[in-house]
Structure 1
């Protein structure tokens, strides 16, 4: 199941060729520490990562 998402990322560490942005349909791979991720349900606005 495909879904569109929006991500805000700091671009200071991007290679120079990517600092101008990406195009619709580009494949983007990235890694990050779990302590910097905040995922929320669009419907409920609740965290998808909370441990209940």
Structure 2
């Protein structure tokens, strides 16, 4: 079985709710809140305060 290494960058003071999926090469800025059951796609850049 092959395992792919996920690469993402999550800065300080980020809140991620339950059951969230973070895609490969995603970037999440500081002070961002991601609520439950959200999906961040591959190569997304999240800079908003609330998602």
TM-score range, shorter chain: under 0.3
More strand per residue:
2
More helix per residue:
1
- Select the structure with the greater relative contact order (CA < 8 A; seq sep ≥ 6): 2
Structure 2 length normalisation: TM-score? 0.26
